[in-house]
A = this chain, B = another copy of it.
Amino acid sequence: MYTIAQTPLPPYFAVIFTSLRTEGDHGYSAMADEMEALAALQPGYLGFESARDGLGISISYWDSPEAIRNWKRNLDHRDAQQKGRDHWYSAYKIRVCKIERDYEFSRDA
């Protein structure tokens, strides 16, 4: 499902995860779905957006830096992070940021 995350008024926080995959699935797709569902259960989770066409970009939105730190330390997520380094990604970059303002357009608006 392709949707723009419905986030509250700024300020809020985001983790931008930009990645290049290795060849083959190696259990990646199932774990990616699982982590997306698990993230949505964490305190302070606000939303998620993802796209890939060679380069992958996934963004999770959070209500505080503490929520981001807690998610980073989640044990199942830590296991997925390690598998990512061992198997799934040839390279990635993670950027933690504060959303200071936002605006939107919708044809239906």
A residues neighboring B (CB under 8 Å):
2-5, 7, 10, 14, 16, 18-20, 22, 49-57, 59, 84-85, 89-108
Determine if A91 and B103 form an interchain contact, defined as CB atoms under 8 angstroms apart.
Answer: no
Could you tell me the distance in whole angstroms from the C-beta of A78 to the nearest C-beta in chain B? 14
Contact A55 to B99, CB < 8 A, known contacts A14-B16, A91-B104, A104-B92: no
Determine if B95 and A14 form an interchain contact, defined as CB atoms under 8 angstroms apart.
Answer: yes
Chain B positions within 8 Å of A57 at CB level:
49-51, 57, 59
**Bound-complex Cα distance A55 to B99 (A):** 20
Beyond known contacts A85-B105, A91-B106: 20 more, CB 8 A cutoff? A2-B54, A5-B18, A14-B16, A14-B95, A14-B97, A22-B107, A49-B57, A51-B51, A51-B56, A53-B53, A91-B104, A91-B105, A92-B105, A93-B103, A94-B102, A94-B104, A95-B99, A96-B99, A96-B100, A97-B99
Determine if B102 and A96 form an interchain contact, defined as CB atoms under 8 angstroms apart.
Answer: yes
This chain's copy number in the assembly: 2
